[in-house]
Structure 1
Amino acid sequence: MTALLDKHRLAEKGVDRVLWLLLPGAVFVLLLFVYPFLYGLQLSFQPKGGGNPLQNYITFFTDDYLTETVWITLGLGLPAALINVLASIPIAFRTRGRFRGKRTLTTVLVVPITLGTVLTAEGLLAFFGPAGWFNRIWQALGADEPAKLTHNYWGVLFSLVITGFPFAFLLTSSYLSGIDPTLEQAAATLGASRRQRFRTITLPLLAPGLAVTFCLSFVLAFSVFPSAVMVGDPAGETHVMAIAAYETALRDNDFALGSAIAMLMALVMFVVVGVVLAWRTTLYRGATGGKG
């Protein structure tokens, strides 16, 4: 009886007791995300040698080797996210209906999630390495030397596509399932071809969801670290920001500069995600006729 009265009083005050279930999640986010971020932010303004609070950021932008990591990381993250999103569209579109073997095919497409980055990198080394199966076939066909597909940019890009595609595929499939199929059926009765239905109905409704999928795929690819070391060139063309932060903090024992690099990583990700989400808002308004 007392519990019912307490619930009634809370309801009168506009407080839903179900909201208390959010408390553990809020504490989790606070301890594992907010606090580390704020700690790293304030540490980035405490240079190892003292002096100007902005010295770590000045050091980063005046050191060409460090500044170049921004463009190297973007050069990996943006293409990987774009490839994953574009590849997921036709595959998700073809697998959205019911057909025999759908579960098996879906399982095969999402298996790379279970492999992890390290195991994927090892597989790439075994298959695309100088003595791997690909190069054995390549040289058997008459090539003079093995193709260089590992320990460079391409090895890391392959790894990011393999590990990132399942997420893009699952997200795209979920967005496709939310589109009412009767819209396409109505267009078909009016004489619209399959291509016209996809271009004028499905794609505009799917585009806002694709923007979110791109953002998540980009964040996943932008934080690349293990594959950049194992199948890339960590001191050269795949010297990404995560590696720079790691080396600065643990090799050079300069945690303040490492924190500054991590903050800049977050800033670049926020900028890219912000631009894409702003574009998503425009797409959403266009798809809904400016309502909402």
Structure 2
Amino acid sequence: MHSAAVTARDIRAGLEQLGLTRTSAVIVHSSLSSFGHVDGGADAVVDALLATCGTLLFPGATSHATRLPAPPQVVRENNAIACAPDWASFDAALSKAAHFHQDLPVNRNLGLIPETVRRDRQHVRSSHPYFSYIATGAGADDLIAAQRLDWPLGPIEALWQRGGHVLQLGVSHATNTTIHLGEQQLGRGRFYRYAKPAPGVWMELPNIPGASHRFDTIEPHLRSSTRQVTIGACTASLTPVAEVLTVTRHLIEASPSALLCDDRTCQCFAEVQQRLRYIAGLDERSPAATTRYDEAAASRR
């Protein structure tokens, strides 16, 4: 016996049960297949989201198409990326990669729902060639404007300042990009990556997040501040951005390796080293490094 199809009305009712209203601002991480059969497919989910929430933010990353290896001999400490062996190899990769443009499809790993918004709904999209975002609704322009090439997680920071939430539709915290913002605020998960922003052009991009495959270990710590409902076969969860950032900070301050794996060949190992340098004041963004800079500046006056 087949389960009844999930409708846009069912999804809207579930979102309202979570407490979402036309004043709500959320970042959406989603899996269409998690609902079971949806009458109307991704369009129905998008319709329900647009009818329920005031501002929606979606990941729109295109790194699958635009990314490049590091150029030859461009080595940054604890950066966990291979360099092209020579410029001929790098130029070949540059030629093969897609350049970023507003109509470039969203990475399939992010699901069909954000791609449906990009393709079929009015939206604004940032122009970051590796880590773009898509937004709709009343606060869309403000969220997208918060992203810079050197601060790709700016839209989440702006969502935090608006009192926003993380909405997870059938996905785990492994997709929860807000955790990346929390770790970057503590000097961790800040990688340099390379992408093709225009034909024949390559660019170095700082502060690209790292691995997230162990982010699920945050779930017990967020349980008390997370609302959940079931929509069809989908578990829908809503957590305040502020709470995700607070818990992430507490966990990482207690342990530099929190939410990461212990495989020394994984990006996770480089992230731990970044955090240790930050604590020691060896990272220029760390409080200790800033203090030393201020003291040095004062001595020259």
The structure with the largest helix share of the pair is: 1
Q: TM-score, normalised by structure 2?
A: 0.20
The structure with the largest strand share of the pair is: 2
Question: Over alpha carbons, which structure has the higher Rg?
Answer: 1
